[in-house]
A and B are shown apart, each in its own frame.
Chain A
Amino acid sequence: MTSLVLADHDNTSLKDTTNKVVTAAGALGGDVHVLVAGAGCGGVAEAAAKISGVTKVLLADAPQYAHQLAEPLAALMVSLAEPYDAMLAVANTAGKNVMPRIAALLDVAQISDITSVESPDTFTRPIYAGNAMQTVQSADSKKIITVRTTTFKAADDGGSASIEPITATDDPSVSRFEGEELSKSDRPELTAAKIIISGGRGMQSGENFAILEKVADKLGAAVGASRAAVDAGFVPNDYQVGQTGKVVAPDLYIAVGISGAIQHLAGMKDSKVIVAINKDEEAPIFQVADYGLVQDLFKAIPELEEELGKIGL
């Protein structure tokens, strides 16, 4: 049994979601290799070689992999597939984009968004926005898997794998990168943050998110939003936590002015501690909250900021 993990990176740094997928791959048993495909990404390969449990790093450094476009990346991974029993990637937009393409080319099913490895061929995954958990057994000779990283621990650093440069495959040249607009923020990314404070429709406007940002700055937290707040145009879509946005599981999740629609709960209910602040005491969010504060958020949030200041944050 040997598994190949597709590294999650931006050509400069390796994201710790890769370490989590290495943990999932390790649970399958056998050797774990990591593929770093990118452009000018030698540093990423060095970082990947240090992950405990990784025995080899494949480095495909070529311009066509710079933006993880699905067509060239899938062609590369299919060319590498032969010796591997499983190929795994993070269930983020990059992994979700490329992995089904590989599965189809290998004529095998993909197992999406696994939250646990029951045995080398059996996996559990959420369906219906996390309202049910499905356990599936794969009969395919190769397993193509995307991993929901919120439920796997990151493998430590401490390994010293060899790095093997590999030859790029031809670019199918059917897709070209034109540009990207990434949200710039000094705050942590939603999916990496230990603390998240999210606002819902109750925030009433985008400007009012400023009061959440002040609390976020005190806590070193990321700022998120419910789909209702995004649909109302308060904040951009990449703030969205929920089934149709980002799935997060921080140590502390503070839901402010969020009623707790099924679709939002699906994105945050694995958080360690949940706080709900809402003036409507009937709001469903209180049914999942460890600590509920029934109060108008425009009173509660400034007070929360002040109280955090009092304890030196």
Chain B
Amino acid sequence: MKVIVPVKRVIDYNVKARVKPDQSGVDLANVKMSMNPFDEIAIEEAIRMKEAGHVREIIAVSIGPQQAQETIRTALAMGADRGILVKTDEAVEPLAVAKILKAIVEEEKPELVMPGKQAIDDDCNQTGQMLAALLNWPQGTFASQIKFADGKLDVTREIDGGLQTIEINLPAVVTTDLRLNEPRYASLPNIMKAKKKPIDMKTPEDYGVDITPRLKVLKVMEPPKREAGIKVESAAELVHKLREEAGVI
């Protein structure tokens, strides 16, 4: 079967996001960008499915600026087969992303779409669920294990308080959580090979999707700062302060 993995270009997870002084957003200039870590896990899982013989082709899709092509190249170097870049310099909200992905699904007819559970920039955690809704497909969100079973999927989900396992029909959308796997590093020969793999260039207009935002960002601010407090010398002093000064025990 065919799998589509959407990959998003975001500020590298090791870099601290800085708010612009004019409060219009977060500064992306000269900041290291990488593939969203949850999407990297999804690519890895798709490759493992291919290695296990469940999957024939992996398509990495990114919606973003020209540089998002690098993110697709990373996916191709890891082991995806081809890419689709839907190029736009606008910020695209999850609903519009889901609509573009739906149009791609209708063209490519995959049996599985596997996005990361959320992007670490806007932290929305919406796209996979929205896509499943628009396609009228079942969803397995926050997956920590995915098993093929008689033309269906058993998805173990990370839920509050533990794990839940559900069985879902295919085609389906599964969103990946941290525990699912540890993504591989692309080897140098694979990075070279990836340069020859095809990437289709598209635009949101090609899919007839209106990406006008529904939400207007009024401002982006620094969170309230916490001041460092005091140092104590011993457990005894700590207990005394917590009881007498802070009153929390």
- Chain A contact residues, CB within 8 Å of chain B: 67, 69-71, 74, 92-94, 96-105, 107-113, 122, 126-140, 172, 174-183, 189, 191, 195, 219, 227, 237-238, 243-244, 246, 251-252, 262-263, 269, 272-275, 286-295, 300-301, 303-304, 306-308, 310-311, 313
**Is the Cβ of A67 less than 8 Å from the Cβ of B164?**
yes
**Is the Cβ of A104 less than 8 Å from the Cβ of B130?**
yes
Contacts of A310 in B (CB 8 A): 239
Contacts of A307 in B (CB 8 A): 235-236, 238-239
**Is the Cβ of B234 less than 8 Å from the Cβ of A303?**
yes
B6 nearest CB across to chain A (Å): 14
B66 nearest CB across to chain A (Å): 23
**Is the Cβ of A131 less than 8 Å from the Cβ of B16?**
yes
A137 nearest CB across to chain B (Å): 5
Interface of A is mostly: mixed
For A178, give the chain B residue with the smallest CB separation. B165
B167 on interface, CB distance cutoff 8 Å: yes
Partner of B221, one of A132, A139, A304: A132
**Is the Cβ of A293 less than 8 Å from the Cβ of B167?**
no
Interface of B is mostly: mixed
For B215, give the chain A residue with the smallest CB separation. A136
Extra 7 A-B pairs, beta carbons < 8 Å, given A70-B141, A127-B220, A195-B248: A100-B127, A101-B132, A104-B131, A127-B122, A181-B162, A189-B161, A237-B158
Contacts of B90 in A (CB 8 A): none
**Is the Cβ of A136 less than 8 Å from the Cβ of B139?**
no
Cα distance, A181 to B124, chains bound together (Å): 27
Cα distance, A100 to B102, chains bound together (Å): 15
**Is the Cβ of A139 less than 8 Å from the Cβ of B129?**
no
For B11, give the chain A residue with the smallest CB separation. A128
Partner of A109, one of B93, B161, B249: B93
What is the number of residues of chain B that contact chain A, defined by CB distance less than 8 Å? 78
**Is the Cβ of B242 less than 8 Å from the Cβ of A275?**
yes
A39 nearest CB across to chain B (Å): 15
Cα distance, A308 to B242, chains bound together (Å): 11
Contacts of A97 in B (CB 8 A): 129, 139, 141-142
- Chain B contact residues, CB within 8 Å of chain A: 11, 13, 16-17, 19, 26, 93-95, 98, 120-134, 136-142, 144, 154, 157-169, 178-179, 213-223, 226, 228-236, 238-239, 241-243, 246, 248-249
Contacts of B11 in A (CB 8 A): 128
Partner of A273, one of B138, B178, B246: B246
**Is the Cβ of A128 less than 8 Å from the Cβ of B217?**
no
For A272, give the chain B residue with the smallest CB separation. B248
A312 nearest CB across to chain B (Å): 10
Cα distance, A248 to B153, chains bound together (Å): 33
**Is the Cβ of B166 less than 8 Å from the Cβ of A178?**
yes
**Is the Cβ of A174 less than 8 Å from the Cβ of B248?**
no
Partner of B167, one of A110, A130, A178, A303: A178
**Is the Cβ of B120 less than 8 Å from the Cβ of A101?**
no
